[in-house]
Amino acid sequence: MHAKSESARPRRSLLAEVSTGQWLALVFAVLALIFVLSNRGKVRIEFLLVTVTSPLWLILLIMFVIGVLSGALLTRRKGRAPR
C-alpha cells in the first residue's frame, strides 16, 4: 500500500525543484564568468609608492570586497546604541 501511494503522487521535474533564488545565483555566476573572461587583460595600478600589474577583473574584485567590508563596518557602527 505504501508503494501505491508514492506512485500516485505526481513527480516534479528537476527544473521545478530549483528555486528562484538559485536561478538568480546561476545567472549572476554566468555573468561573473563572462565578465572575468572579457577582462583578462593586465592593467598597471599605481598607489602611493607601489605599482602593481594585475588582471583588471582581480583589481575590480578587490575593490568590490573593500567596498562591501566598508559598508558592513559603517552599518554595524550605525546600528549600535550610544553608550
pLDDT(71) > 90: no
How many angstroms separate the first and last alpha carbons of the chain?
Answer: 66
39 contacts 58 by C-beta, under 8 angstroms: no
Cα 8 from Cα 71, distance rounded (Å): 52
C-alpha cell at position 21: 533564488
The pTM score is: 0.55
pLDDT at 44: 94
pLDDT at 76: 72
pLDDT at 32: 84
pLDDT(16) > 80: no
Residue 66: C-alpha distances to residues 3, 23, 51, 56, 59 (Å)? 55, 27, 19, 15, 11
pLDDT(51) > 90: yes
pLDDT for 27-41, tens place per residue?
Answer: 988 988 888 888 888
Query: What secondary structure letter does DSSP report for 83?
Result: -
